[in-house]
Structure 1
Amino acid sequence: MKSLFLALSLLMLAGCTITRQANVSEVNATSGIVRLTWNQAMLQTARTDDYVAKGTATRECQQMGYANAVGFGQPVSTCSVYAGSLCLNTKITLSYQCQGMAIPSTTPTYY
């Protein structure tokens, strides 16, 4: 009986980690900052794929004329839904700095 309870407990804990897609929440062309966010519900451990998130940020940077994006700082967690003193939903924000200057492909380059 004890081993069954332990096995069920481990099975429940293993299913709590999910992968979320980080979406663009803020773009500042002047400072070259792109912020991506995703939501994490209570009792969940959500994560995002760093490669996909960097690709999303780089794509936004390239639309502003920069070459690529470099992540900076730590992820910032902010509680977005409260129930009394309990946080029901956490918004996690990643910040990227756009760097370099992209050369448009439509402009011919002569050497």
Structure 2
Amino acid sequence: MKRLCTVGLVLLLAGCGITRKAEVSSVDVNSGVVRLDYGQPLFQTSYDDAYVTSGTATRECQAMGYSTAQAYGQPIETCSVISGSLCLNKTVTIQYQCHGYAPAPAVTTSAYY
């Protein structure tokens, strides 16, 4: 009976989808690449909100002088917590390529100090 409850709990948790907020993990100004990460625990299905993630990447690109960000490639999963041969937590990395040129805002000087 205990084994049946354990299996039921694992199957229940495996079916859950949790939205994670991806945080900026690295920025490469020279190549215009922004990488964002979020964690995915064992027995959970995690995913990112593409709209929010794209907005975060676009803000980082604009801070570097580009105008937009576009996702490229597939998400990269890396095991971040290992216990024996079992991966307890994965880090999922999403990559964005910065595009376009965002001109700096015009600086106005006042004749009155």
Please give the TM-score of this superposition, normalised by the length of structure 1: 0.83
1:86 aligns with 2:94: no
Runs of 4+, deviation exceeding 4 Å: none
1:70 corresponding residue in structure 2? 70
CA shift, 1:106, in A, is 2.7
1:32 aligns with 2:32: yes
- RMSD of aligned C-alpha atoms? 2.1
CA shift, 1:15, in A, is 6.1
Partner Cα distance (1:13, 1:99) in 2: 39
CA shift, 1:105, in A, is 2.6
**One-letter identity of the residue aligned with 1:55:** G
**One-letter identity of the residue aligned with 2:28:** N
**One-letter identity of the residue aligned with 2:50:** D
Over residues 29-74 of structure 1, what are the superposed CA-to-partner deviations in whole Å (9 max), with x where a residue is unaligned? Answer: 0000000000010000000100110000000000000000011000
Over residues 59-104 of structure 1, what are the superposed CA-to-partner deviations in whole Å (9 max), with x where a residue is unaligned? Answer: 0000000000011000000001100000000000000000100022
**One-letter identity of the residue aligned with 1:50:** A
Q: Is the 8 A contact 2:14 2:45 kept in 1?
A: no
Q: Unpaired runs of 5+ in structure 2?
A: 109-113
Please give the TM-score of this superposition, normalised by the length of structure 2: 0.81
